[in-house]
Chains A and B, each alone.
Chain A
């Protein structure tokens, strides 16, 4: 007996649905694990450390809010992928790692740059494409970098930088210098072959690298359950790799877990695969109408805002008072406005700079 054929309208491929939590039974890789119940003192963090964490996170937030305004005013072009909502990850990780540990990430890189040595002035100037930018105006929003501070940069091809992270870790193992590499990627990079090839070699070769997915729920406009099967973190199982899911909305949690992981990587020279669950408050880029998610979902996550959360922690624990919070916020605001002035007043690169930084030598005979 022939199997009954389906009607054309019954055939579909990609799972459907709007949002990451409103799609009936399909809710995968979205539940936030509990945040840590430890206080900062239990984590060997001083009062000054947590105040600084708040300041770092608030800087990332204000920098991007102002950058967005400048972009909307037409002050600079290109893409602008905003990190807002994910600042606990960059900040908690940077605190968890040593200063000479290596960090590499994708194109949503402003927060990472700011917390790893790109000054607000150099960052804003890079957005403006000015010669005073961290990458001399050659990279723009997607290519912040401060290699002296072991921040290897933001990269624009989804998943393309993952092998680079593995290679940085390879060189560290080769030199036996004790450095740990943290390679961050979005959930959208999880289905890329580059990840799976790199995880396989990393486990087989014992590379001291943390592969950390910042799962913000969406690959551009495609919800995580629509682009990846199963739980993201379970990719680790296929490579016998150590794994963990982390609440990415709480900086103390990110700090605690990433420190544990980094210590293990350093001690055993074995990689980890980590899924840090978070949420992206803005669109994929500035041209994104965000029709793929609901207002209610966004509001739900805004209640969990990592910047507000650490601020409230400081107040609740009486580490600082409202006046001090305001003082910090004003100071950050001044810093960001100064960065904008700096970017606007800076020069564009000279025309001759078109040919700079192509090759190691200055006298390369360019084809014409």
Chain B
């Protein structure tokens, strides 16, 4: 095991895959000569050269579509968005083209492309830089969506994403890039897409949390452990296809569930998982499922308001207290 930063784990995944497949290239804003806006792609220009590390203008719609066209014509692009908040400009290419061209041509084209970059909020960046997009893209058939929480998951799942012959959205977080974690040294370490992981075993309540919210859930679990509440945390890792079996298995054990999601409440992952739980585990529930999400408001700038806006460990504790009838 090696201890790597999140950004180093992503870089290693890209570097290893690029080293064994000449058709893989990286394009995006500041990915090459600047070494990456968040230093994820640092050093890759020197190693792989300007043909494969391509700086784009600020034209998300244009370069996302060029990536899709290149994927149709035999390459395996990794398209970096400086944040998925900017990828909204490219949504037509992801939603109308990448996810649909195979289907509407009756299977004549293959689109092996990865769209990656940070998702959701990163401190006080106000309304347009703070939105979580994983559930939005997961809504659309034809796309796979991954939002990982730890360096090992990031490396293993990104390698799988790059090898996947479908469009995959791979989401990260500005605030997690410096996070360190143990990453297996094995030569070809991959994690299959679509597999959740029980990351903390517990018997009293199941908390479902992915991406940055996994760490909020962990903090809540650690605090509650001091009060003898035994929290199990399931990290879906892949949002679509969703591993509902692992979630249901945990709930059959704990009979209680809280979903933590850094998205707005309407129609998000928390809503979908909540529906699936009532369908698949209704008879096992001892309390209604609770969720902790962003409020139905835009992200504010003011520090006090922002702290109020972002899901906190205390909110998770409150929700756990509700489903366990502790308070």
Which residues of A pack against B, CB within 8 Å? 102, 104, 133-139, 143, 145-148, 152-153, 155-157, 160-172, 174-175, 193-194, 197-198, 200-201, 204-205, 356-361, 364-367
Contact = CB atoms under 8 A, between A and B. Distances in A.
A170 B65 CA distance: 11
B73 A168 contact: yes
Contacts of A139: 104-106
B179 interface: no
Interface in B272-322: none
Nearest to B164: A360
B74 A175 contact: yes
B198 interface: no
A194 B65 contact: yes
Nearest to A143: B104
A105 B255 CA distance: 55
A290 B121 CA distance: 50
A163 B65 contact: yes
A168 B97 contact: no
B271 interface: no
Contacts of B96: 156-157, 160
A174 B96 CA distance: 25
Closest 4 CB pairs of A and B: A167-B69, A163-B65, A197-B62, A136-B106
B241 interface: yes
26 contacts: A135-B108, A138-B105, A143-B105, A145-B108, A147-B105, A148-B108, A155-B101, A162-B65, A163-B61, A163-B65, A164-B66, A164-B69, A164-B72, A166-B62, A167-B67, A167-B71, A170-B66, A174-B51, A193-B61, A194-B65, A197-B59, A200-B59, A357-B106, A358-B141, A359-B142, A367-B240
Contacts of A205: 54
A357 B103 contact: yes
Given A358-B141, A367-B240, A155 B97 contact: yes
A102 to B, nearest CB: 7
A103 to B, nearest CB: 12
Contact of A201 (B51, B57, B166): B57
A193 B93 CA distance: 13
Given A193-B61, A194-B92, 16 more contacts: A135-B108, A136-B107, A138-B106, A139-B105, A153-B109, A157-B97, A160-B65, A160-B97, A163-B63, A163-B66, A166-B65, A172-B73, A194-B61, A197-B63, A359-B166, A367-B242
B73 A167 contact: yes
A366 B98 CA distance: 18
Nearest to A145: B105
A138 B71 contact: no
Nearest to A142: B104
Contact of B68 (A134, A146, A164, A356): A164
B102 interface: yes
Interface size classification for chain B: 35 or more
Counting chain A CB atoms within 10 Å of each CB, which of B25, B62, B92, B103 scores highest? B62
Contact of B241 (A136, A138, A169, A364): A364
Counting chain A CB atoms within 10 Å of each CB, which of B65, B75, B101 scores highest? B65
Given A152-B109, A198-B62, A365-B194, A168 B103 contact: no
A116 B242 CA distance: 41
A287 B26 CA distance: 44
Contacts of A156: 96
Nearest to A146: B108
A350 to B, nearest CB: 13
A146 B65 CA distance: 20
A181 to B, nearest CB: 9
A167 B241 contact: no
Given A201-B59, A360-B166, A163 B103 contact: no
Contacts of A201: 56-57, 59, 62-63, 66
A174 B194 CA distance: 32
Contact of A164 (B63, B97, B108): B97
B172 to A, nearest CB: 23
Interface in B12-69: 25, 51, 54, 56-57, 59, 61-69
A364 B241 CA distance: 8
A93 to B, nearest CB: 19
B25 A174 contact: yes
A134 B105 CA distance: 8
A29 to B, nearest CB: 24
Contacts of B59: 197, 200-201
B70 interface: yes
A366 B242 CA distance: 9
B74 A137 contact: no
Interface in B88-130: 92-93, 96-97, 101-110, 112
Interface string B141-155: 110000000000000
Counting chain B CB atoms within 10 Å of each CB, which of A102, A133, A360 scores highest? A360
Interface string B183-194: 000000000001
Contacts of A134: 106
A290 to B, nearest CB: 28
Contacts of B72: 152, 164, 167-168, 171
